[in-house]
Amino acid sequence: MPTWIVVVLVIAVIIAIGVIFALVRYYREKPPPIPAGWYPDLHDPSIERRHDGSGWTDDTRPNEEERNR
């Protein structure tokens, strides 16, 4: 087998291993999903905003903890 083919195969294997490691690292570092519930609003701490488990809703309510301070 010619040397250049061996070099190309070695480079291809190294690139494949690098891609696999990058994908594993990406999925391990992915933040966990936010559980459904009420959370202090980032822009207005006097209210809470509801997260339905897949995204933020338009539902709000007064933040009792912030009001009692």
The 3-state secondary structure of the chain reads: CCHHHHHHHHHHHHHHHHHHHHHHHHHHHCCCCCCCEEEECCCCCCEEEEECCCCEEEEEEECHHHHCC
51, two tokens: 């997260």
Of 38 and 64, the structure prediction assigns the larger pLDDT to 38
- Summarised one tens digit per residue, pLDDT across range 6-57 is 999 999 999 999 999 999 998 888 788 899 999 999 899 899 999 999 999 9
pTM of the complete model beyond 0.85: no
